Amino acid sequence: MTFNLATILRESRYAHPGKPLCHSQDRTLTYEQVDEDSGRVAAALLALGLERGDRVAVQLPNLPEFLLCYFGILKAGLIMVPLNPLLKGHEIAYHLQDSGSRILVACAPLAAEAVAGAQEAGGIPVYVVGVPGFDETPAGTHPFAELLNATDTGDIAPTNADDTAVVLYTSGTTGKPKGAELTHFQLFMNCTVSGELFGIREDDVILAVLPLFHVFGLSSVLNVVVRYGGTMALVPRFETTPVLDTMEKHRCTIFSGVPTMFFALLHAYTSEHDLSALRVGCSGGAAIPGEVIRAFEEKFPGVVILEGYGLSESASTTTFNISAEQRKVGSIGKAVWGIETRVVDDADRTLPPGPEHVGEIVIRGHNMMKGYWNNPEATAEAVRDGWFHTGDLGYADEDGYFYIVDRKKDLVIRGGFNVYPREVEEVLYTHPAIAEAAVIGRADERLGEEVVAYVALKAGAQADEQDVIAFCKDRMAAYKYPREVKFLSALPIGPTGKILKKELRT
């Protein structure tokens, strides 16, 4: 069966060509403009010699150009590889090399790291999107405008429904970041089902501050908006005042975010902002405290916060609380249409309901990834007998609602972003004064979790907390480096020589 996800844009363009698809600072693009400009990007990429199935990496914040790249890549029959704009050069190089990306699109203020990564990856061409104050194209790069010089043919490549549309990198719980292959059909089904659950309407305006390079923002915000013909208000970075200003200016009706965003807005809001249009808050990425839900809904009468759960590997939404009447605060909700969810023990046997029966949450259905890009071993480890093993520990109740209680591995979720401790530890071990290192998550009221490093120094070596933090900050994305460093004479070691992180958490 042939199907291309870009069809959702074309169909909504036919329905209302002049309607705003996105607002971004002082720019507004209609459905017609996004459809035509993304067609120009598609034609330009094919003119550069890219062929069906080639990968194009896009390292952009929430700007209109992200939409043009996304739908242009899909229309051309290529594969989108979204990257976090905060990645450092060597991190970018890893993603480019692992995915085999042919081109990188980056943002001017962060172009230096993009260029460094592209050069390390073998000299991949870099196209740079300018923003106010950063209009110059760095040496050795191309202006993004070159990709808009082609003529839109109106063509949408006849890809197969199970062809990979997006390779979305996730740290997961083991090894280096892995690319989850999400197909055209999976992403279409997720935005279709999610939009129905959210109750989205054509007159809705969704605030899009969740990063579009993340599965939550890409699948449950961008795709949902376009699938149902809504409008989105883009905000490149979460800061309370710009977010509140944007919500008021564009009369936003739906806000999707991670718990830390709800927490920040709750404390930053004053009556100076008119948010009376807001009716739904969708929370995901981490568990949202019941007290935050209660306080938020009390401060914003008429707003209901609905919590869901999903992963990069599941194209976003897997379970969801569908309404104020049917939700259970503290739960991630029930499995959505077409998805099966179970709690299993270590032998993959289904556990009975009840908080005393905690096991690993496993899922299968139309939303499950095709596999990890070029990594059959990791795919076989994660997907067994058709069930994807999430690594999250939880339980189900008698009504089929699921609850997350812990993570099976050591993944730290800081402000909605996944931080893999081993990646941080590998950087710590390159510090000339450090002999041993271990990274864990510490509960944090604002961010959910904070990254904490425990280190033991080499004999005779010296280093202080700020030195270690600065060392890490220079070598990794801003959300990853530890904000707290604790020094021990030696880290606790088990009989096999493994560092006992459990003891560090006590």
The pairing of beta strand 402-407 with beta strand 79-82: unpaired
Strand partners, 232: 22, 206
pLDDT per position as a tens digit, 169-207? 986 444 689 999 999 999 999 999 999 888 899 899 999
Mean pLDDT of the 387-395 span = 92
Helical residues (DSSP H) of 341-443, grouped into ranges = 376-382, 421-428
In a domain? residue 325: no
Encoding tokens for residue 215?
């599965």
For the chain, the first-to-last Cα distance in angstroms comes to 54
Q: Which two tokens stand for residue 2?
A: 């042939």
The residue with tokens 């071990």 is 429
Ranges assigned E (strand) in 366-419:
371-372, 383-384, 387-396, 402-407, 412-414, 417-419
Digit-coded pLDDT (tens) for 399-429: 999 998 767 777 788 998 878 787 888 899 8
Q: What is the mean pLDDT of residues 486-491?
A: 92
Q: Which amino acid is at 470?
A: A
Task: Provide the β-strand partners of residue 207.
Answer: 233, 255
Give the pLDDT of residue 498: 65
Predicted confidence (pLDDT) at residue 317 exceeds the cutoff of 90: yes
Domain assignment of residue 477, yes or no:
yes
> Rounded mean pLDDT of 451-465?
93
Closest CA to 435 of 373, 484, 357, 487: 487
Choose the final residue of a domain: 160, 179, 197.
160
In this prediction, residue 494 carries a pLDDT of 59
Say if 55 falls within a structural domain. yes
The mean per-residue pLDDT over the stretch 235-242 comes to 93
CATH of the domain at 72: 3.40.50.12780
CA dist 414 and 416 (Å) reads 5
Residue 500 CA from chain centroid, whole number: 30
Tell me how far apart the alpha carbons of residues 266 and 410 are, in angstroms, rounded to a whole number: 30
Whichever domain contains 431, its CATH number is 3.30.300.30
- The predicted pLDDT at position 406 comes to 67
Q: What does the alpha-carbon distance between residue 258 and residue 305 come to, in Å, rounded to a whole number?
A: 11
Report whether pLDDT(138) > 50: yes
Domain count, the chain: 2
More confident residue, 318 or 500: 318
Q: In 180-252, which ranges are continuous DSSP H helix?
A: 184-198, 215-217, 223-227, 240-249
Residue recorded with tokens 């379970």: 319
Q: In this model, does residue 249 exceed pLDDT 80?
A: yes
* Tokens 């006590």, residue located: 506
Q: What is the mean pLDDT of the chain?
A: 93
Backbone φ and ψ for 355, nearest 5 degrees, come out as -65, -15
Structure tokens at 63: 């700007």
Residue 263 has what pLDDT? 84
Q: Could you tell me if 144 and 105 are in contact, meaning their C-beta atoms sit under 8 angstroms apart?
A: yes
DSSP3 helix / strand / coil % (the chain, rounded to 5): 30, 30, 40
Residue 453 covered by a domain: yes
CB atoms within 10 A of CB 349: 9
Q: Does the pLDDT at position 275 exceed 50?
A: yes
Q: What is the mean pLDDT of residues 262-287?
A: 89
Kindly state the average pLDDT of the residues 289-308. 90
Strands 334-335 and 316-320: antiparallel
Is residue 283 in some structural domain? no
| pLDDT grade for 497, boundaries at 50, 70 and 90 | very low
Helices (H), 169-220: 184-198, 215-217
pLDDT number for residue 312: 93
Note the pLDDT of residue 173: 43
Model pLDDT for residues 62-86, shown as the tens digit of each residue: 999 999 999 999 999 999 999 999 8
In angstroms, what CA-CA distances link 335 with 194, 262, 338, 382, 399?
11, 24, 8, 19, 11
Question: Is there a domain that residue 402 lies in?
Answer: no
Q: What is the pLDDT of residues 435-444, one digit of tens each?
A: 888 899 999 9
Residue where a domain terminates, one of 125, 160, 195: 160
CA distances from 138 to 107, 126, 243, 472, 492 (A): 11, 10, 30, 26, 48
Of the three residues 160, 183, 206, the one that is the final residue of a domain is 160
Residue numbers of the domain that contains 481: 412-505
Secondary structure E strands in 152-212: 164-170, 178-183, 205-208
pLDDT in tens, 359-382: 999 999 999 999 999 999 999 999
Residue 156 covered by a domain: yes
SS3 track for 85-97 = CCCCHHHHHHHHH
